[in-house]
Amino acid sequence: MAGLIADETIERIRERVDIVELISSYLPLKRSGGNYQGLCPFHGEKTPSFNVNPARQIFHCFGCGVGGNSVSFVMKMEGLSFPDAVRRLGSRVGIVVEEEAPTAEQTQRREAVIRLLRIMEAAATAYERVLLKEEAGARGRDYLKERGYASETAKLFHLGYAPEQSDFLCKELEAAGVEMRDAEELGLVRSGTSRPGRYDLLRNRLIFPIQDERGRIVAFGGRALGDAQPKYLNSPESLLYHKGQILYGLFQAKEAMRRSSEAIIVEGYFDLLALHRAGLTHTVAPCGTALTTEQARLIKRFASRVFLLFDQDSAGQKANQRAMEIFLAEGISPLLVTLDAGDDPDSYLRKQGAEAMRERLAAAQPALELFIDATLKACGESIEGRARGAERVLPLIKLLPSEMERNLYLKALAQRTGIDEQLLMRGRKSDAGSEARLKARPPQLPALPRSRERLPGSERVEKAQDLILHLFVQGRIDKSLIERDGLETLFPDPERQKIVQAALAFSVKGEHIDTTRLLDQLSDGAQSILAGILLKEDRGVEVDLAEQTYDDCRRTLLKDALQRRSRELTECVRRAELAGDLAGAAAFQEEQIQLNRQLKSGKIF
DSSP string covering 428-484, please?
-GGGSS-HHHHHSPPPSSPPPP---S--TTHHHHHHHHHHHHHHHHTTSS-HHHHHH
Q: CB–CB of 252/246 below 8 Å?
A: no
Pick the CATH number of 110-238 from 3.90.980.10, 3.30.428.10, 3.20.20.140, 2.60.120.960: 3.90.980.10
pLDDT at 476: 81
Per DSSP (E only), the strands in 106-172 are 160-162
pLDDT at 205: 96
- pTM of the predicted model as reported, rounded to 2 decimal places: 0.66
Quick: pLDDT tens for 365-393.
999 999 999 899 999 988 888 888 898 88
Q: What is the residue extent of each domain of the chain? A: 7-92, 110-238, 245-349, 437-605
Q: CB–CB of 240/188 below 8 Å?
A: no
Percentage of the chain with pLDDT > 70?
Answer: 90
Which letter does DSSP use for residue 68 in this model? E
Answer whether CATH 3.40.50.150 is correct for domain 7-92: no
Over residues 440-456, the mean pLDDT reads: 34
Better pLDDT: 584 or 271:
271
Helix (H) / strand (E) containing 405: helix 403-417
Over residues 238-266, the mean pLDDT reads: 92
Residue 496 pLDDT grade (very low, low, confident, very high; cuts 50, 70, 90): confident
First-to-final CA distance of the chain:
43
pLDDT at 501: 87
Residue 439 pLDDT grade (very low, low, confident, very high; cuts 50, 70, 90): very low
Rounded to whole angstroms, what are the CA distances from 459 to 30, 334, 400?
30, 27, 18
Minimum mean pLDDT among 203-212, 316-325, 343-352, 528-537: which range?
Answer: 528-537
Q: CB–CB of 130/154 below 8 Å?
A: no
Inform me whether the pLDDT recorded for 541 exceeds 70: no
Quick: pLDDT tens for 317-335.
888 999 999 999 888 889 9
**Domain boundaries 245-349, CATH class:** alpha beta
Helix (H) / strand (E) containing 7: helix 7-16
Rounded to whole angstroms, what are the CA distances from 494 to 295, 401, 426, 435, 437?
23, 13, 15, 30, 26
Quick: pLDDT tens for 171-198.
999 999 999 999 999 999 998 766 668 9
CATH topology assigned to domain 437-605 = DNAb Helicase; Chain A (1.10.860)
Sign of the C-alpha dihedral computed for residues 519, 523, 526 and 527 taken in this order = positive
Helix (H) / strand (E) containing 120: helix 104-133
Sign of the C-alpha dihedral computed for residues 140, 145, 151 and 157 taken in this order = negative
Number of residues in the chain: 605
> How large is the greatest C-alpha to C-alpha distance in the chain, in angstroms?
91
Quick: pLDDT tens for 404-433.
778 888 888 888 888 888 788 765 443 334
Over residues 230-252, the mean pLDDT reads: 94
The runs of H, that is alpha helices, within 17-103 are 19-24, 70-78, 82-92
Using alpha carbons, select from 238, 216, 185 the residue that is nearest to residue 117: 216
In angstroms, rounded to a whole number, what is the distance separating the alpha carbons of residues 233 and 372? 36
Rounded mean pLDDT of the chain? 84
Inform me whether the pLDDT recorded for 249 exceeds 80: yes
